[in-house]
Structure 1
Amino acid sequence: MSQSTDTCGAHELFQPGAGPTSAPPTARVLGAAAVGNLLEWYDWGVYGFLITYIGLNFFPSGSSSATLMMTFAAFGAGFLMRPLGAVAAGWIGETHGRKDALLVTLLVMAMGTVPIAFIPSYQSIGLWAPLLLLLCRLLQGLSTGGELGGSLAFLAEWAPARHRGLYVSLQQASTHGGTLLGSAAAASLNAVLTPEQMNDWGWRLPFLAGGALLPVALWLRFNIDETPCYLAAKRGAAAASVPARELARAMGLIAAPVACQYLFFTYMATFAVRYGGLTEAEALGANTAALAMLMLCTPIMGAASDRFGRKPLLLAASMLLLLAAGPVFASVASAPGAASVLILQALLAIVVSMLHGAGPAAVTELFPTHGRALLVSIAYGLGVALAGGFAPLAAIWLIDRTGSPAAPALYIAAACGITAWSAARMPETAQRRLA
C-alpha cells in the first residue's frame, strides 16, 4: 500500500486488492463514525435537557437555585472523567487501532446511560440516588472523553487533504445531531406529557431510547477497516516528539466552541425558562431548532475552511461571539418571546458553526499520526473539562454573584479570547499533508 504524495490517511490510499476493501469505503467510514458519535452525544446531552426533572428526582428539595446547582454539578462531574477517558481510549487507539477504541467508547457509554432510566428517586432510596446518578455520569464522561479524539483521528486519517475540513467537520455535525435528538426528545415529551407525568416517569424514556440504538452503532463500527494512515505509521518510524505548546494551542482552539456549545445550546434552555419567561416546551423547541441550524451549517463551514483556511474562520467567529455574548443574554432575559429567542439562537448557531467547522480539523492537523489519537483525545478531554464541564454551573454562580442575567457573557468572552489568541499564533494547516 503506497502513500499518497498529498495526504496521509486519505481513502485514495486504497488500491484494488491491497487490503480488506478494494473500493474507497467512504460511506461505511462516515456512517460508522457519524452514527456512533451521534448516539454518544445523544446519551451525553439528553441529561442537560432534562436537568429540571433530574434535579427534582435525585436531589433533596430545597431552594430552586441550590437544587439546580447540585444537578449541574453532577453534570459537570462527568467532565472530570473525560481526561482519563481520553488517555485510556487514546492509548487503545495507538496500541490496538482507532477501530477498537471507537468500539470501547460505545460500550462504556451504554453502561453509563441505560441504568439512569432505572435508578429510583431520592425519595425512595435517599443518598444512593444521587450517588448512582453520579457513577453513571462518570462513566459517560469516560466514554465521551475517548470518543472525541478517537473519531476525529479516524476521520482525519481517512480524509483526502483537500476535503479534510469537510470530513472532520462531519464529526461535529453528528455531535450536534446527537444533541439535537436529545433536545427534540425532551421537547416532544414536554409537549405531549403533563409536568407531573414528565416528573414521574417521562424523563426516563430518552435514556431507554439511547440503549435501543446501541446495537446498530456497534454493528457499523465492527464492520469497518482500520485507517490506512495508522497502518502505515505502525510499520514506520517511532513517534515524533510533540512540543507542549502544540497541546496548549489545541486546548486553546477548543475553548470557545466548547463554552459556546454548553452555554448557548445546553444551558440556554434552562436560562430562557428561568429568566426569559418561556415555558419548558418553548425553550426546548427554540433550542432544538437552533441545534438543527448548527448541525446543517457545520459541514458548510468545514468545507469553507478547506478553501479559505482554518485561521480566518476561527478568528472571525471568536471575535464576533466575544462582542455578541453580552447583548444575547441580556436580550433573552428581557423576555422577548419564543420567536425572538429562536432567531437569536439560530444566528448564534451560524457563527458558532464556523468554530465547529474549522476547529476540529485544525486540532487534528497539529499532531503526527504516531500519537494523534492520544494527543487529540487529551487536548479535547482537558479542553472540554476546563471550558465546558462547569460552564452552566459557572453561569449560575456569575448571575448569583453579580445579580445580572447577562453575567454568563463574561465566561463566553474569556473562552473566545483564548481561542482567538491561539488561532492567531497557529500555523495555517488547511490542505497540509498529515505527518
Structure 2
Amino acid sequence: MHATSPAAVTLAQTQPMRARVILASILGNALEWYDFTVYAFLATIISRHFFPNSTPTVALLSTFAVFGVGFVARPVGGLLIGIYGDAKGRKPALLLTIGLMAAGTCLIGLLPTYATIGIGAPVLLVIARILQGFSAGGEWGGSASYLVEWAPSRHRGLYGSFHPGSIFLGQMVGTAVTALLSSGLGPELMANWGWRIPFLLGAIVGPLGVIARNKIGETPVFERAAEAETPVDATTRLPIRKMMFAFAFVAVQSVAIYIYLSYFPTFLQHYVGWSAGRALWSTAIATVATGVAVVTSGALSDLIGRRPVLLTSCIFFLLFSYPLVWVILHSHNFALCAFIQALLSANCGLFIGSMAAALVEMFPTRRRLTGLSTAYNLASMIFGGFAPFIATWLIASTGAPISVTYYVILGAAVSLPAVIAFRETAWKPLD
C-alpha cells in the first residue's frame, strides 16, 4: 500500500514537472530583480525628479535611502509570506510574490514627479518600494526552496543555483534595457520620460510569470511533510539558532552583489569618469559573468561540496577587493577595468551559486520558508539594502573612493567564521 500512496505517485510524476518548475521559477524571479536593477541604475535621474530641491549628493543619498527602504520591508515579507508558504504550500506563496512585484513595478513607472504633486511624489515612491521589498522578501526563500525541493538528490546544488542565476538574468536584462535606452534616447530624453520605460516593461511581463507559476505543481517534499505532520501554525517553534547562523553566513554576498553590480554604475560614473553608457555596458558584462559563475558554482558544489566553494569565494573578497578596485580607480584601460569588475562580480556568483542549496538544506521542511526567508532578508536588509547608501557615505566621509571596499571586506569578515563552521550538507538527505 505504501508504494501507491499519494506521495509515491507524486514522486513518480516529478521528472515531467521539473522543466516547468525551472522555467516558472526563473521567469518569476527574474522579474523580481529586473526592477531592483533598473532602479539602482537610474538612481541619478530618479533623484532629480523626486528630490529636486536637494544638492546632488543629498538627492542621490535620498534616492538610495528609498532603495534601502524596500529592504526594510523584506524581513517582514519573508516572515509573513514564509509562514503562509510553510502552511499552505510553496506554489501559493510564489503566486503571491510575483503579483505584488508586478504591481510595485507598474506603480513606479506611472508615478507623478515632485514637480507635479510635490511631497506626495517621494511618499508614493517609498510605498512602491515597500511593496516590492515585501514581495522580494517572500520570493527568495520560496523560489530557492521550491527548486531544491524538486531537485534530484545528487543535483540540489545545480537546481538551487538556477534561483540566483535567474536573479542575474533579471539584472542582465535590466542592465541591457537601461543601456540601450540610454544610448538610443540620449541623456535629455532619458531624463525627461525615458526612465519610465524600463519599469513599465517589467510590469507587462508580470502576468506571464503568474500564468507560468499557476501551471506548476506543489513540491513532493512539502507534500510528504504535510502528510506526516499536523499543519504548521504561528506558535510552532522557529529554528532560531539556525536562523542566526544563516544570517552571518550570507553577509558577504549581501554586500558584494549590491556594491559590484547595483552600485558600480554610479561609482564608475562619479569616481572613474565614465559615461553612463560605458558604465552600464561594463556592468552588463559583469552580470553575464556572474550568472555563468552562479550555475557553475552550483554544479561544482554537487561534486566537491558546498563548503570548499563558499570558503574560496569568501577569502578572495578579503584579500583582493582593495587591490582590484584600486586598479580600476587608477587605470584608464576600459577593457582591464571591465574585466576586473566582471571578476569581482563573478566571485560573488561563486558564493551565491553554492549558497542557495546550502541554505535550503539547513532548515527543516515545515519551517523552511519562514526560517530561511527571515534570516536571509534580515541580512540583506542590514548588509545589502543600504550598501549603496553606505558606500556613498563612506566616500563622502573619507574623500577616498577606495573606501567602498572597506564595506565588502567587513562583509567577508562576518561571513568567514560561519562558512568555516558550516557542516557539509551536499550529500545528506533533504529533510
How far off is 1:19 after superposition? 8.0
Assess, with a 3 A threshold, how the Cα gap between structure 1 residues 93 and 18 changes in structure 2: closer, same or farther. closer
The 3-state SS of whatever aligns with 1:201 is helix
Q: State the partner residue of 2:297.
A: 301
The 3-state SS of whatever aligns with 1:25 is helix
Assess, with a 3 A threshold, how the Cα gap between structure 1 residues 146 and 243 changes in structure 2: closer, same or farther. closer
**Separation in 1 of the partners of 2:330 and 2:44?**
22
Q: State the partner residue of 1:150.
A: 142
Assess, with a 3 A threshold, how the Cα gap between structure 1 residues 20 and 219 changes in structure 2: closer, same or farther. farther
How far off is 1:61 after superposition? 3.3
**Separation in 2 of the partners of 1:141 and 1:330?**
33
How far off is 1:65 after superposition? 1.0
Q: State the partner residue of 1:416.
A: 412
Q: Do residues 103 (structure 1) and 116 (structure 2) align?
A: no
Q: How many residues align?
A: 425
Indicate if the aligned counterparts of 2:239 and 2:371 stay in contact, CA closer than 8 A: no
Assess, with a 3 A threshold, how the Cα gap between structure 1 residues 66 and 2 changes in structure 2: closer, same or farther. farther
Assess, with a 3 A threshold, how the Cα gap between structure 1 residues 414 and 398 changes in structure 2: closer, same or farther. same
Q: Do residues 119 (structure 1) and 119 (structure 2) align?
A: no
Bigger shift: 22-31 or 144-153?
A: 22-31
One-letter identity of the residue aligned with 2:99: L
One-letter identity of the residue aligned with 2:385: G
How far off is 1:362 after superposition? 0.9
Q: State the partner residue of 1:93.
A: 85
One-letter identity of the residue aligned with 1:89: I
Assess, with a 3 A threshold, how the Cα gap between structure 1 residues 280 and 2 changes in structure 2: closer, same or farther. farther
Q: Do residues 400 (structure 1) and 396 (structure 2) align?
A: yes
Indicate if the aligned counterparts of 2:26 and 2:162 stay in contact, CA closer than 8 A: yes
**Separation in 1 of the partners of 2:102 and 2:12?**
29
Q: State the partner residue of 2:376.
A: 380
Given the alignment, which residue of 275, 283, 296 partners 1:287?
A: 283
How far off is 1:401 after superposition? 1.4
- Alignment TM-score, normalising by the size of structure 2: 0.95
Q: Do residues 258 (structure 1) and 283 (structure 2) align?
A: no
Q: State the partner residue of 2:49.
A: 57
- Alignment TM-score, normalising by the size of structure 1: 0.94
Q: Could you list the per-position Cα deviations for residues 342-397 of structure 1 after superposition, in whole angstroms to 9, with x for gaps in the alignment? A: 11111113322210111111111110111001111111111111110001111111
Q: State the partner residue of 2:121.
A: 129
Q: Do residues 355 (structure 1) and 347 (structure 2) align?
A: no
Q: Do residues 41 (structure 1) and 37 (structure 2) align?
A: no
Q: Do residues 81 (structure 1) and 70 (structure 2) align?
A: no
Q: State the partner residue of 1:224.
A: 216
Give 1:8-47 correspondences, 5 Å limit.
Answer: 18=10, 21=13, 23-47=15-39
The 3-state SS of whatever aligns with 1:346 is helix
**Separation in 2 of the partners of 1:242 and 1:337?**
51
One-letter identity of the residue aligned with 1:182: G
Q: Do residues 270 (structure 1) and 262 (structure 2) align?
A: no
Q: Could you list the per-position Cα deviations for residues 37-82 of structure 1 after superposition, in whole angstroms to 9, with x for gaps in the alignment? A: 0111112221001111111111123321111100000000100000
Q: State the partner residue of 1:7.
A: none
One-letter identity of the residue aligned with 2:253: P
Q: Which runs of 5+ in 2 are unaligned?
A: none
Detail structure 1 runs of 4+ shifted over 6 Å in the superposition: none
One-letter identity of the residue aligned with 2:298: G
Indicate if the aligned counterparts of 1:89 and 1:101 stay in contact, CA closer than 8 A: yes
Indicate if the aligned counterparts of 1:14 and 1:22 stay in contact, CA closer than 8 A: no
How far off is 1:89 after superposition? 1.0
Give 1:174-185 correspondences, 5 Å limit.
Answer: 174-185=166-177
Q: Do residues 168 (structure 1) and 160 (structure 2) align?
A: yes
Assess, with a 3 A threshold, how the Cα gap between structure 1 residues 336 and 245 changes in structure 2: closer, same or farther. farther
Bigger shift: 345-354 or 169-178?
A: 345-354
How far off is 1:23 after superposition? 4.8
The 3-state SS of whatever aligns with 2:112 is coil
Indicate if the aligned counterparts of 2:101 and 2:132 stay in contact, CA closer than 8 A: yes
Q: Could you list the per-position Cα deviations for residues 227-277 of structure 1 after superposition, in whole angstroms to 9, with x for gaps in the alignment? A: 011011011136796643311111112111111100001101100000011
How far off is 1:335 after superposition? 5.0
The 3-state SS of whatever aligns with 1:81 is helix
How far off is 1:144 after superposition? 0.3
How far off is 1:2 after superposition? 6.4
How far off is 1:18 after superposition? 4.7
Indicate if the aligned counterparts of 1:276 and 1:337 stay in contact, CA closer than 8 A: no
Q: Could you list the per-position Cα deviations for residues 137-159 of structure 1 after superposition, in whole angstroms to 9, with x for gaps in the alignment? A: 11000010000000011111111
Q: State the partner residue of 1:9.
A: none
The 3-state SS of whatever aligns with 1:407 is helix
Report which of the two has the higher share of helix: 2
Assess, with a 3 A threshold, how the Cα gap between structure 1 residues 335 and 199 changes in structure 2: closer, same or farther. farther
How far off is 1:337 after superposition? 3.9
**Separation in 1 of the partners of 2:224 and 2:11?**
12
Indicate if the aligned counterparts of 1:14 and 1:24 stay in contact, CA closer than 8 A: no
Q: Could you list the per-position Cα deviations for residues 108-129 of structure 1 after superposition, in whole angstroms to 9, with x for gaps in the alignment? A: 1112110111111111211111
Give 1:232-243 correspondences, 5 Å limit.
Answer: 232-237=224-229, 243=239
Indicate if the aligned counterparts of 1:277 and 1:337 stay in contact, CA closer than 8 A: no
One-letter identity of the residue aligned with 2:161: S
Given the alignment, which residue of 160, 165, 184 partners 1:192?
A: 184
**Separation in 1 of the partners of 2:425 and 2:199?**
39
How far off is 1:400 after superposition? 1.3
Given the alignment, which residue of 303, 318, 322 partners 1:322?
A: 318
How far off is 1:424 after superposition? 0.5
How far off is 1:408 after superposition? 1.4
